[in-house]
Amino acid sequence: MTALTVVKKASFTVASLATTIFLGICGPAQAFMFGTSGIQFDEDTTIGFTFDRSQGLYQSSLWVAQAQPNNTGYSNISSLFNETKPSDDGSANSGKGTFGNAVTSKNGEITQTFTFLKDQIYALQLWSDTGTGKPFEQFVSSSSFMNSSLWFAADSKFSRIDCLATGCQQAVFGDFKLNYESTDPFSTVNEGKSPEQFKSATTEQLAQGTKVSFDDGQKTNEVDFQQFTVSAQAVPEPMSVLGTILGIGALGVARSKKKQYQQRKK
Return phi, psi of residue 246, to 5°: -65, -40
Q: Is residue 246 part of a domain?
A: no
Strands 210-214 vs 228-234: parallel, antiparallel or unpaired: antiparallel
Distance (Å, whole) CA 197 – CA 259: 50
Does residue 244 surpass a pLDDT of 70? Answer: no
Confidence band, pLDDT 50/70/90 cuts, at residue 10: low
Helix (H) or strand (E) run with residue 186 in it: helix 186-189
pLDDT in tens, 93-122: 989 999 999 999 999 999 999 999 999 999
Q: Which residue intervals of the chain are DSSP H helices?
A: 14-26, 186-189, 203-208, 238-265
Q: What is the pLDDT of residue 29?
A: 46
Q: Is residue 251 part of a domain?
A: no
Domain count, the chain: 1
Return phi, psi of residue 24, to 5°: -65, -35
The one-letter code for the residue type at 19 is T
pTM metric for this prediction: 0.81
Residue 86 and residue 58 in contact, taking contact as beta carbons nearer than 8 Å? yes
Q: Is residue 144 part of a domain?
A: yes
Instruction: Compare 148 and 229 and report the one with higher pLDDT.
Output: 229
Share of the chain above pLDDT 90, in %: 55
**Identity of the highest mean pLDDT range in 59-73, 93-107, 139-153, 226-240:** 93-107
Q: Is residue 221 part of a domain?
A: yes
Q: Is residue 171 part of a domain?
A: yes
Distance (Å, whole) CA 3 – CA 120: 22
Q: Per DSSP, what are the bridge partners of residue 62?
A: 81, 126
Distance (Å, whole) CA 67 – CA 120: 8
Q: Is residue 152 part of a domain?
A: yes
Q: What is the mean pLDDT of residues 158-166?
A: 70
> Which residues does 168 contact at the CB level (< 8 Å), separation at least 6?
144, 147, 148, 160, 162, 217
Instruction: Compare 234 and 155 and report the one with higher pLDDT.
Output: 234
Average predicted confidence (pLDDT) for the chain? 82
Owning domain of residue 175: 5-235
3-state secondary structure of 18: helix
pLDDT in tens, 183-226: 888 999 999 999 999 999 999 999 999 999 999 876 555 678 99
Q: Is residue 54 part of a domain?
A: yes
Q: Is residue 84 part of a domain?
A: yes
